[in-house]
Chain A
């Protein structure tokens, strides 16, 4: 094996540099390391989610849950038919309609947790993120629907669910497409006035929430900031820029009314 004398440059990047080579090929341990990363990412996509521990963790936070599913029948169909992942199953639509009738008043916030493209991300991050978000919700006095736990979900599934429940905004936590070095990245999407057919440009997104990415506290802080601004200005999307870093870093930013 031929080593690369610049391998100390690895300190500046997570890119796979300075690997050395075996002839024209990668060294054995690098090939196998890559294969393991890919296997974990594949497992994150294909493994069906187990909601039971998530239900329990959310119950411990005092948050009731409701299981729903998209119109996709299984993971294979989910991957081929993104349109089905954006639609509720008939059964789930009826369940949400019943839930809406039983609710006393409309919620400010509908929260939907969807498996998306990484069940690993949802399993690893949902409870910790919700625990970080909850104090902001309580402080703001936002009324929250039961947490919806959705199988085979795309982001837009929250639009239909949020519309049925009459939420002012919908918050979708969803497993992001796994990267080789980040199979467990959770995405958070905030959409004001959710309804079927809304455009992606009308959402805000906080990406890469995970233990080795954006911290739960920071993710929750940004979420609460965006929600406050969304309720104040009556919109989300490209016209609502995330300026919460001015608050976090203590810099003087544009004048914000909380």
Chain B
């Protein structure tokens, strides 16, 4: 039982799960699930009670039962007590104060990751303001490598997302040229395929591999299909760089995706066996998003943000190159408007980073949400300031395959110009070499000798 006296009323919360849910900043998904605070005052009272909970308490009270859920077992069984020691005496509120203090250097914050559980970081995020989520996340440095180096401080990468509604190869190639000419693609060139047919998937992998090899691009490709399909493709000899999978924070939501933890292990081992990385071997790409557990009816009465953080415990087990919270894709019944999407994007990035993940964000919304590009500009700016690992680059921010809006190649230029963020160093050097950018990393005037331009002319001919 958790109790707090606030504003002349005594509030009680029967479990850590209930306390976490009621302390969560308001969002439609928690109302839909019936777990949200019943009033604005109860919401703040829950935050007050949560601030006084010792971090150690989170090691003794699970929000989803250990016996029922392999994600809980993963969290508990892999907890690193030694890494936890520096903050083990703190309450949630004291942890916030420490994180924001000068004492919490990037080295100290980054070293905590294996000692923190998803529920601990979710808890502290709930009592933070948006600005705290920015500065807190900025202190957690996470660097990953495959063919380039992602996550260096002062750097931000971009996933080039050249989707096409019928997987038309020329259509995809056209969007790839466009993105590369705008200096995007250092995180990954990643296609959401329309088809889950293994032949079609392999065709796309071969096409991207050809481009990457022909132009010697220091980046990696990915077709975002089910992990078991990618494993099959690897077995058939397809050129797979990164293995993709959508994951969630309970065993039930992962079941709904048709994925078991053993599949992820198998996928990682299959990709590692190909030895395609040149500067490192982080070969997994995960996507997540608040609300997936409720959508799969597998939320165990937890709030969606806590469950989202639990998905990161799954991700970190497999040493990913990239983790992407697709924050506004799920729709207004989970995140109603720009305010809720902005908040969720900052929470997800903060929680992922504190747990040691290379956290990117698909800064996005659907047309039935109360949001527009101005809201995305705010989230983009704040995540850029927070040190986001990568964002999406989509032609004109309009994904014609998935029918939603995200960030454009231009948006990436904007945030680089506003905040001075650099591309992955290997990719940056390549862009300068072929003449896309100048020595300062700015887009250069188009030069006829640029091999990508020659390629574009050949495509059109």
Contacts and interface: CB of A to CB of B under 8 A. Distances in A.
A30 B394 CA distance: 14
Contacts of A183: 367
B395 A17 contact: yes
Nearest to A40: B367
B410 A21 contact: yes
Given A8-B460, A12-B168, A37-B398, A79 B333 contact: yes
Q: How large is the interface on B (under 10, 10 to 19, 20 to 34, 35 or more residues)?
A: 35 or more
A77 to B, nearest CB: 11
A13 B168 contact: yes
Contact of A14 (B162, B368, B400): B400
Given A6-B453, A177-B368, A177-B403, A17 B175 contact: yes
Residue among B31, B170, B331, B396 having the largest count of chain A Cβ atoms under 10 Å: B396
Contacts of A6: 174, 177-178, 181, 453, 456-457, 460
B443 to A, nearest CB: 8
Interface in A168-184: 177-183
Interface string A13-56: 11111110101111000100011011001101100000000000
A243 to B, nearest CB: 15
A9 B456 contact: yes
**Most A CB within 10 A of own CB, among B403, B404, B446:** B403
A9 B178 contact: yes
Contact of B397 (A23, A34, A45, A182): A34
Nearest to A208: B165
B229 interface: no
Nearest to A117: B368
A82 interface: yes
Contacts of B163: 15
Contacts of B397: 16, 34
Contacts of B400: 13-15, 179-181
- Identify which of A14, A17, A37, A41 gathers the most chain B CB atoms within 10 Å of its CB: A17
A4 B443 CA distance: 12
Nearest to A181: B400
A81 interface: yes
Interface residues of A, number: 43
A2 B409 CA distance: 14
A83 interface: yes
Given A9-B456, A81-B32, A15 B396 contact: yes
A8 to B, nearest CB: 5
A5 B446 contact: yes
Contacts of B460: 6, 8-9, 11
Contacts of B181: 4, 6
Contacts of A19: 395-396, 410
Contacts of B178: 4, 6, 9, 15, 17-18
Interface in B315-373: 331-333, 336, 366-368, 372-373
B413 interface: yes
A7 to B, nearest CB: 9
A198 to B, nearest CB: 15
Residue among A34, A35, A117 facing the most chain B CB atoms (10 A cut-off): A34
A232 B459 CA distance: 48
A35 B367 CA distance: 12
With most chain A CB atoms within 10 A of its CB, the pick from B368, B408, B417 is B368
Contact of A13 (B175, B368, B408, B446): B175
B73 to A, nearest CB: 28
B364 to A, nearest CB: 12
26 contacts: A5-B446, A5-B453, A5-B456, A6-B181, A6-B453, A9-B178, A13-B172, A15-B163, A15-B175, A15-B178, A15-B394, A15-B395, A16-B396, A18-B178, A25-B410, A34-B396, A45-B367, A79-B332, A79-B336, A80-B332, A81-B333, A82-B333, A117-B367, A180-B398, A182-B403, A183-B367
Interface of A: 2, 4-6, 8-19, 21, 23-26, 30, 34-35, 37-38, 41-42, 44-45, 79-83, 117, 177-183
Please give me the 9 A-B residue pairs with the lowest Cβ-Cβ distance, nearest first: A16-B396, A179-B403, A13-B171, A24-B413, A9-B174, A6-B456, A17-B178, A41-B367, A15-B395
